[in-house]
């Protein structure tokens, strides 16, 4: 059974609905004087999360106009286009975001929010979309990945 690890955090009330995904972007200056900011900022910058449960606690917040809500989140899977040569289900890959033109029609597929270049991910699914020959000559496919848990990840050389 696939049991995802949850983490308690605080999000803006607008995001406090099960199934809502967001990419954590870090703290702002307004957070520095807040007594509970360490709970809001216990996530990893640049990673995508999904709200899975709502808790009863609400808080006022200078950043979120409608206040904040305590929630449980898990790291959310991300869909990304990678080289077909590396697309193997249940394998670990180090994602290297390609250097390409932002005007490319597949740029967003190859550079999705919530994926960090150089980080390790597990390919959980190869999506049934067509292979694409990108302008740089690489054949790519869409896959679904999740970040490798930090306790299992080793720094890449």
- Residues 69, 96, single domain; the answer is no
**pTM of the model as a whole:** 0.77
Rounded distance between C-alpha atoms, residue 80 and residue 77, angstroms: 10
- Residues 66, 99, single domain; the answer is no
Q: Which two tokens stand for residue 19?
A: 């199934």
Rounded distance between C-alpha atoms, residue 55 and residue 18, angstroms: 11
Among 34, 49, 75, where does a domain finish?
Answer: 75
Q: Which residue has the higher pLDDT, 148 or 96?
A: 96
Considering its fold, how many domains does the chain have in total?
2
pLDDT digits (tens, 9 = 90+) for 87-105: 999 999 999 998 888 888 8
Rounded distance between C-alpha atoms, residue 147 and residue 155, angstroms: 14
Q: Where are the beta strands (DSSP E) in 32-99?
A: 48-59, 68-75, 78-83, 92-94
Nearest to 59 by CA among 43, 39, 30: 39
**Domain range spanning residue 61?**
7-75
Residue 137 domain flag:
yes
């Amino acid at each position: 059974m696939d049991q995802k690890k949850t983490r308690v955090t605080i999000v803006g009330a607008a995001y406090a609905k099960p199934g809502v995904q967001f990419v954590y972007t870090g703290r702002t200056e307004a957070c520095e004087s807040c007594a509970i900011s360490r709970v809001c900022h216990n996530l990893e910058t640049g990673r995508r999360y999904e709200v899975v449960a709502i808790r009863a606690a609400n808080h006022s917040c200078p950043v979120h106009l409608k206040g904040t809500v305590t929630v449980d989140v898990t790291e959310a899977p991300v869909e990304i286009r990678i080289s077909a040569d590396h697309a193997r289900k249940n394998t670990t890959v180090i994602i290297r975001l390609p250097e390409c033109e932002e005007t490319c029609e597949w740029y967003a597929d190859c550079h999705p929010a919530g994926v960090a270049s150089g980080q390790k991910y597990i390919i959980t699914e190869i999506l049934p979309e067509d292979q694409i020959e990108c302008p740089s000559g690489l054949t790519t496919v869409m896959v679904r990945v999740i970040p490798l848990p930090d306790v299992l990840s080793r720094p890449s050389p």
